[in-house]
Amino acid sequence: PQQGPFRGQHIVITAGPTREPIDPVRYLSNHSSGKMGYALAAQARRLGARVTLVSGPTQLAAPEGVQRVDVESAEEMLEAVQAAVTDADVFIACAAVADYRLATVAEQKIKKSADRTQLELVRNPDILATVATSDNAPLCIGFAAETQEVAHYAEDKLKRKKLAMIAANDVSDSSIGFNSDANAMTLFWHDAQGQLQQKDLPRAAKSHIAEAILRQLAQLQSHTRAS
């Protein structure tokens, strides 16, 4: 049996990019490697949780003891997450979900003809906000990639998306994040008095950052239970 602060808990984590199909051979996506989400899944397992990792396409192997559900598009990710969170204690949205998808996916490969053409895009569902604002929502953690006013946007997102914690990274520093094995983040949450708290996690391996995020989460949970 697993030991640790999350023993008996179910933690659902999204990771990686999404792929939004254009036609049978093409898609829109981004450079997310999935490393941060996979590191969180491995550490959550190590700290005793039952873990479901809903993953977009990545090059990574599922961490041992973690149940991985493979998805491609944002809509598929939302569906898989909604199925997984019904009994979840915690939901961590680490995926780089495409903000838009194609308004219509072409059934056949699109042929080149005109010198200029356009793709019509429509907004994708916000998976984190959908889960966080649902009835019996688990405790939700979001990630934020900002280039300026990190604290301001983090507090706004905490409130707007009804989150327990935000992990923000400054994406203007290209030596961290995305395909890197290291990361540096600032965690934001509200204490029992409703005051914004923050903790800087200096540059470290993603496995270390993941553990620090989860330890902070465990502390938050113990306060929530005590109050």
Question: Which residues lie below 8 Å from residue 208, measured CB to CB, with a gap of 6+?
Answer: none
Residues of this chain that bind ligand C5P (CB under 6 A): 14, 74, 93-95, 97, 124, 126-128, 142-144
Residue 143 annotated in ligand binding: yes
Q: How far is the CB of 75 from ligand C5P (least distance, A)?
A: 10
Residue 1 annotated in ligand binding: no
Which residue lies nearer to ligand C5P by CB, 66 or 92? Answer: 92
Q: Are 77 and 38 in contact (CB under 8 A)?
A: no
Which residue lies nearer to ligand C5P by CB, 4 or 155? Answer: 155
Q: How far is the CB of 203 from ligand C5P (least distance, A)?
A: 20
Catalytic residue, from 30, 136, 169, 183: name it: 30
As a whole number of angstroms, the distance between CA 137 and CA 174 comes to: 34
Which residue lies nearer to ligand C5P by CB, 48 or 51? Answer: 51
Residue 78 annotated in ligand binding: no
As a whole number of angstroms, the distance between CA 14 and CA 40 comes to: 10
Which residue lies nearer to ligand C5P by CB, 66 or 131? Answer: 131
Question: Which residues lie below 8 Å from residue 194, measured CB to CB, with a gap of 6+?
Answer: none
Question: Which residues lie below 8 Å from residue 190, measured CB to CB, with a gap of 6+?
Answer: 158, 196, 197
Tokens representing residue 176 in the block: 């961290």
Q: Are 71 and 29 in contact (CB under 8 A)?
A: no
Q: Is 136 in a helix, a strand, or coil?
A: coil
Tokens representing residue 55 in the block: 């993953």
Q: How far is the CB of 108 from ligand C5P (least distance, A)?
A: 28
Residue 127 annotated in ligand binding: yes
Which residue lies nearer to ligand C5P by CB, 48 or 177? Answer: 177
Residue 159 annotated in ligand binding: no
As a whole number of angstroms, the distance between CA 182 and CA 124 comes to: 29
As a whole number of angstroms, the distance between CA 60 and CA 101 comes to: 24
Strand partners, 96: 17
Q: How far is the CB of 71 from ligand C5P (least distance, A)?
A: 12
- Write phi, then psi, for 214 (nearest 5 degrees): -70, -35
Residue 157 annotated in ligand binding: yes
Is position 136 annotated as part of the catalytic site?
Answer: no
Q: How far is the CB of 94 from ligand C5P (least distance, A)?
A: 6
Annotated binding site: 99, 109, 125-128, 143, 157, 161
Annotated binding site for CTP: 99, 109, 125-128, 143, 157, 161
Catalytic residue numbers read: 30
